[in-house]
């Protein structure tokens, strides 16, 4: 009968819950605007300030462990050492690494005899979009290491008239905060001024075509790496160079002995070596915990001890390649591993660390009960 009809059920839901509808509509519109802005920033971004130009090249890799001195690896195979405070290139070497694995260039090598393996490595690292150039760079003091698509690791020594400024690690700056007169403090002020319209004139900055004060002197290549592709390079505070490679290994070299005139780089054997389940695509060193982490092509993260270089535990996270890894100290003092996969997901896995010894539990390092992943 007409009395039994529920007229409310015939009305649109949006009519009965207009406030909820408007709130949801506004939320969707807000998200749409944010997405449009992000897309626009990526497609037509304007950098408000440029601290130094490396000329007609794209920067592919950067290492700033000795801030404000940074080393850059270019898409054209060049290696550049820059001073971000003085806004100039202080040493460089052009086209020393191959642009692509199948471009013989000036560096034909044993790696390029297996082009398919090398191409597979590049696809694991970059997917279908690969801009070419240097794979990894690292700097410590006056030593620079670089790795390219031709395989192996090359070492360089910075030679310039003026000595380099004292080493100021980023971790040290982060712990105590950037002082006003520190390099990081000055850099922050420069960036702040740039957003206000100051220092945005590119004419202020040094051009690569200006006179470069110093040189990158070649010291040779490291032994045992010429037949593989090195995907990541890191110096530690003990002046050792760590190299992660596509052959599924990490190696540590005591390269600072090269200051001895009787020392031959090519004859230097690794002091540590660890073998992993698959190709290593990225590596991070956490000296506070005495632990290193590797991201592997089979989708896992593997941990190794820095004092012995030995692998002690791993965890599988993805069905695709794990491309990036970081050991992060969180605001509450705890530690976690962040790992990114080639599918766009990021995993966050807390580490079990003994508070008294500040060491990772090697038997059960990953607190998987509290891990999260973000698509």
More confident residue, 29 or 7: 29
303 token code pair: 């941990």
Percentage of the chain surpassing pLDDT 70?
71
Q: Does residue 128 have a pLDDT over 90?
A: no
Q: Which of 90-99, 125-134, 157-166, 351-360 has the lowest mean pLDDT?
A: 157-166
Burial class of residue 121 (count of CB atoms within 10 Å of its CB; 0-12, 13-18, 19+): buried
- Min mean pLDDT across 128-132, 141-145, 323-327 is at 128-132
Averaged confidence pLDDT in the chain = 79
Burial class (CB in 10 A: 0-12, 13-18, 19+), 337: buried
Element (H, E) at 34: helix 18-44
Nearest partner of 69 among 160, 164, 163, judged by Cα: 164
Cα 172 to Cα 209: distance, rounded to the nearest angstrom? 34
Say what the pLDDT of residue 113 is: 59
Three-class DSSP category at 195: helix
E strand or H helix at 116, and its extent?
Answer: helix 115-126
- The four Cα atoms 90, 95, 100, 102 give a dihedral, to 10 degrees, of -160
* pLDDT for 255 beyond 80: yes
pLDDT-derived band at 184, boundaries 50, 70, 90: very low
Burial of 75 (0-12, 13-18, 19+ CB in 10 A): middle
Kindly compute the dihedral angle of the four CA atoms of residues 235, 236, 241, 245, in this order, to the nearest 10 degrees: -80
Strand intervals (E) in 84-229: 88-93, 136-140, 143-147, 153-159, 215-221
What is the model's pLDDT at position 117? 78
Q: Sign of the CA dihedral 279, 62, 254, 238?
A: negative
Residue 125 DSSP code = H
Kindly list the strands in the beta sheet with 230-235, ordered across the sheet, starting from the edge strand earlier in the chain: 230-235, 241-245, 249-253, 272-275
Q: What is the pLDDT of residues 20-55, one digit of tens each?
A: 777 788 888 888 887 787 777 666 766 666 667 787
pLDDT digits (tens, 9 = 90+) for 61-86: 999 876 789 999 999 999 999 998 88
Residue 167: pLDDT band by 50, 70, 90 thresholds? low
Q: What is the pTM of this model?
A: 0.75
For position 353, what pLDDT does the model report? 95
């Amino acid at each position: 009968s007409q009395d039994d009809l529920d007229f409310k059920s015939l009305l649109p839901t949006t009519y009965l819950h207009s406030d909820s509808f408007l709130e949801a509509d506004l939320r969707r519109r807000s998200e749409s605007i944010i997405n449009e802005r992000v897309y626009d920033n990526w497609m037509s971004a304007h950098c408000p300030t440029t601290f130094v130009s490396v000329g007609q090249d794209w920067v592919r890799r950067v290492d700033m462990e000795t801030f404000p001195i940074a080393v850059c690896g270019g898409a054209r195979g060049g290696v550049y050492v820059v001073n971000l405070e003085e806004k100039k290139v202080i040493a460089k070497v052009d086209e020393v690494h191959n642009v692509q694995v199948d471009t013989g260039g000036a560096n034909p090598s044993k790696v390029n005899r297996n082009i398919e393996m090398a191409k597979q490595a590049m696809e694991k690292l970059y997917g279908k979009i690969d801009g070419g150039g240097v794979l990894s760079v690292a700097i410590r003091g006056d030593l620079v290491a670089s790795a390219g698509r031709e395989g192996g690791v090359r070492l360089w020594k910075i030679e310039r008239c003026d000595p380099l400024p004292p080493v100021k690690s980023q971790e040290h700056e982060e712990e105590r905060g950037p002082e006003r007169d520190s390099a990081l403090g000055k850099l922050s002020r420069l960036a702040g001024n740039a957003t206000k319209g100051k220092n945005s004139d590119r004419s202020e900055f040094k051009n690569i075509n200006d006179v470069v004060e110093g040189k990158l002197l070649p010291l040779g290549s490291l032994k045992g790496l010429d037949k593989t592709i090195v995907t990541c390079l890191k110096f530690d505070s003990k002046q050792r160079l760590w190299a992660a490679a596509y052959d599924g290994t990490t190696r540590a070299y005591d390269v600072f002995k090269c200051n001895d005139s009787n020392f031959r780089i090519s004859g230097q054997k690794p002091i540590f070596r660890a073998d992993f389940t698959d190709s290593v695509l990225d590596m991070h060193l956490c000296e506070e915990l005495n632990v290193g982490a590797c991201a592997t092509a089979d989708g896992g993260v593997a941990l190794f001890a820095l004092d012995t270089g030995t692998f002690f535990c791993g965890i599988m996270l993805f069905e695709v390649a794990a491309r990036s890894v970081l050991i992060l100290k969180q605001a509450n003092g705890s530690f976690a591993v962040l790992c990114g996969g080639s599918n766009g997901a990021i995993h966050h896995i807390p580490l079990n660390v003994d508070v008294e010894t500040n060491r990772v539990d090697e038997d059960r390092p990953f607190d998987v009960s509290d891990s999260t992943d973000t698509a």
